[in-house]
Amino acid sequence: MKGTLAAAVVLLAGAWAAAETPRSGQLLNLSCMEALVAIDEANLAGVFSFVPEKDGSAAFADLVVHNPKAMKKYLAKVEGDLKAVGGISVWDREALAFALSIYASPLGGTLEKPSAKAMARLAELAQAPGLTLGEMTARRRKP
């Protein structure tokens, strides 16, 4: 009985220590960092390092739909990528798709929506060819 109680105390102490240890951030997706810089919010990189990579584009979309100026800057960045390399990053496509879904959801009724022209451009950009960062870099280097 003493051995069982001691083992339980040791296990509980280990679980407590693990729960108290702060979770460390992960490397930030470069597309996310580029998008944060484009909207002048590079200071949020540390916060986004704690967002799982699979959820990063959705979290970013939520950020920009709540800030019309940031959305405008982000759309300009994505349009620039499309013109420069003939496509946009897969991450950007996901972020745009999430933004469209937020605007179409019941939450969208509580948000300041972009103009009809900007919404049409957002929908258009969400359908642009998706490229990996490697493909985009290679296309930028071509003369």
Q: Is 11 contained in some domain?
A: no
Residue written as token pair 């919404």? 119
> Which residues have a Cβ under 8 Å from the Cβ of 112 and sit 6 or more positions away?
68
Q: Is 53 contained in some domain?
A: yes
Parent domain of 115: 25-141
Helix or strand holding residue 130 (H, E) = strand 130-131
Q: Is 8 contained in some domain?
A: no
Domain count, the chain: 1
Q: Is 14 contained in some domain?
A: no
Q: Is 12 contained in some domain?
A: no
Helix or strand holding residue 119 (H, E) = helix 116-126
Q: Is 7 contained in some domain?
A: no
Q: How far apart are CA 26 and CA 93, in angstroms?
A: 22
Q: Is 102 contained in some domain?
A: yes
Mean pLDDT, the chain, rounded, equals 85
Q: What is the pLDDT of residues 38-77, one digit of tens each?
A: 999 999 999 999 999 999 999 999 999 999 999 999 999 9
Q: What is the pLDDT of residues 79-97, one digit of tens each?
A: 999 999 999 999 999 999 9
- DSSP E strands: which ranges in 1-143? 88-89, 130-131
Write the burial class of residue 53 (CB in 10 Å: 0-12 exposed, 13-18 middle, 19+ buried). middle
Q: What is the pLDDT of residues 93-110, one digit of tens each?
A: 999 999 999 999 998 889
Residue 111 — φ and ψ, nearest 5°? Answer: -100, 155
Q: Is 19 contained in some domain?
A: no
Q: How far apart are CA 63 and CA 103, in angstroms?
A: 12
